[in-house]
Amino acid sequence: MVILAQWEDRAARGLFRYDVTACETKVLPGEYGFIAQLNEGRHSKKRPTEFRVDQVLQPFDPSKFNFTKASKEELLFCVKSGVSHEGEFYPEAPVVEGTNAIIINVSPIEYGHILLVPKITARIPQRIDEDSLLLAINMAVEAKNPFFRLGC
C-alpha cells in the first residue's frame, strides 16, 4: 500500500514526535475485544493546542497552526477531486490550488495515522462538508484494505 510505504519512509526519517509502534497495546477481555493503548508521547510531546476547545467550527487564523505550516517532508502526496468525486493520484506533485493533501500526523494515535487535508491552499476552517466527506469515503474505498479507518 502506497500510504503505508510513504508513512514508514517518514518514520525512518525521524519526522514523528515519538514511536507509536513502541506503545504498549493489549486487547481487553470481553465480548467486544476493545483495544487499549498506553501512548504517553501523545500528551507529553504533542504540539500545544492553540484553539478554543469550546467551539467546534473556528475561523481560519493564519497566525495559528494550520496545515499550510506543515513541513514539506510531512506531505505524502496530493489528490485532486474530479467531477465525479473520484480522486486523481499525484505522487510527489507540488501542492497547487484545489489539491487535497495527504500528510502524516506527527503525533500519531496508531501506526499509519495520516491526515486528509481538503483544499489545503484554500485556507478554510477545519470541518467536514459534502465534498470532503465524499473524498474521504472514496479514499477509503480506493485503499481496498479492511483495516483502513476514517475518523474526524
What is the pLDDT at residue 29?
Answer: 96
Among 12-21, 31-40, 52-61, 76-85, the least confident range: 76-85
More confident site: 111 or 148: 111
Q: Is the model's pTM score more than 0.85?
A: no
Q: What mean pLDDT comes out for the span 11-30?
A: 93
Q: Are 72 and 48 in contact (CB under 8 A)?
A: no
> Of the candidates 112, 70, 113, which has an alpha carbon nearest to the alpha carbon of residue 95?
70
For the four alpha carbons of 123, 85, 112 and 127, in that order, the dihedral sign comes to positive
> What is the rounded average pLDDT for all residues in the chain?
84
Residue 149, domain member (yes or no)? no
Residue 110, domain member (yes or no)? yes
Residue 39, domain member (yes or no)? yes
Residue 50, domain member (yes or no)? yes
Task: Report how many domains make up the chain.
Answer: 1
Q: What gap in Å lies between CA 23 and CA 145, rounded to an integer?
A: 23
Q: What gap in Å lies between CA 67 and CA 120, rounded to an integer?
A: 7
Residue 28: pLDDT band (50, 70, 90) is very high
When mean pLDDT is compared over 7-16, 61-70, 113-122, the highest value belongs to 7-16
Residue 103, domain member (yes or no)? yes
pLDDT digits 0-9 by tens, 69-113? 899 999 998 887 665 555 555 566 667 777 889 999 999 988 999
Give me the domain span that covers residue 113: 2-143
Residue 60, domain member (yes or no)? yes
Residue 33, domain member (yes or no)? yes
Residue 34, domain member (yes or no)? yes
Q: What mean pLDDT comes out for the span 7-27?
A: 93
Q: What gap in Å lies between CA 81 and CA 115, rounded to an integer?
A: 16
Radius of gyration of the chain (CA): 16
Residue 26: pLDDT band (50, 70, 90) is very high
